[in-house]
Amino acid sequence: MILVTGSTGNVGRNVVRELLAAGEQVRALTRNPTGCGLPAEAEVVEGDLTRPETLSAALDGVQRAFLFPLFGELEAFLGHARRSGLDRIVLLSSSAATFTVPGWIGEAHRGNEAQVRASGIDATFVRPTLFMANDLSWAEQIASAGVVRGPYAKAATAPVDERDIAAVASAALTSTRTLDHVSLTGPESLNPSERVGIIAEVLGVTAEYEEISRSQAHAHLVREMPPQAADFMLDQLKDAAEGGAEPVSTAEAVMGRAAHTYASWVGHRSADFRR
């Protein structure tokens, strides 16, 4: 039995599907089992990493687990995992954990990794770069005005498809050997203007990218995340605008296939862009 926490998120939902396709028994932990939309083959149980009283039952009979990176909330899970005899954890981390200057987000992921290592349970850290799914935040702007407004139009990054993150996590969960970590990027270096152009082409709409100031972008981001996280994200985009990002990934060898392109991802999530 493999437990998937964060099972209704962009990555967790795909981890459930990948594991079921591989013939594994899957238990999916979610705060709201009713209407979660997970496959019927998965055992869906109610639980929450912030509610320790739900974790003992969730881990009963489980051998391995995919762990969602909820900052500051992993201690109770790891305690229950040790007592239940869990033999492997695959933690969703971030490429920011490897940065020389990791910033607020990188430090938070480093803290998660340190906690998991200290548990003594064999672990794999899956470290993706920016998610392609972050660009779903552009959907309303594209639908309403055909203009996406954001900072640093020349900031080239190599975002990764959540299906690829899930495929790596699933492979790490089912492998006969423990991988220490896997770093993931997407296969292409693309700036925001290029990504909006791909979205427009795949969806058959007209859309363009309009650059706004850092202060305007910061004011928008802090509605969705802590100020430290907004500062870190904007710093990374500033660096990318000055130097760009080359795709560097070890994921293909783990997945056994090529990574999904950005155009492939847009096609996969086209309904979400049109919703």
Tens of pLDDT, residue by residue, the chain (275 residues): 999 999 999 999 999 999 999 999 999 999 999 889 999 999 999 999 999 999 999 999 999 999 999 998 999 999 999 999 999 999 999 999 999 888 889 999 999 999 999 999 999 999 999 999 999 999 999 999 999 999 999 999 999 999 999 999 999 999 988 889 999 999 999 999 999 999 999 999 999 999 999 999 999 999 988 998 899 889 989 988 988 667 766 678 888 889 999 999 999 999 999 98
Regarding beta strands 64-67 and 88-92, do their DSSP bridges make them parallel or antiparallel, or are they unpaired? parallel
Looking at residue 113, its amino acid is E
| CA atoms in the 13 A half-sphere facing the CB of 12 | 25
Q: CA-CA distances (angstroms) from residue 261 to 96, 198, 250?
A: 22, 11, 16
Q: Residue 92's closest CA among 211, 185, 182, 216?
A: 182
pLDDT, position 236: 87
In this prediction the pTM is: 0.94
Residue 250: the pLDDT is 67
Predicted confidence at residue 244, as pLDDT, reads: 65
Supply the pLDDT for residue 143. 94
Best CA proximity match to 191, nearest among 237, 229, 145, 248: 237
Instruction: Pull the structure tokens for residue 201.
Output: 């082409």
* Contact by Cβ (8 Å): 65, 90: yes
Cα–Cα dist 173/28, whole Å: 14
Radius of gyration of the chain (CA): 19
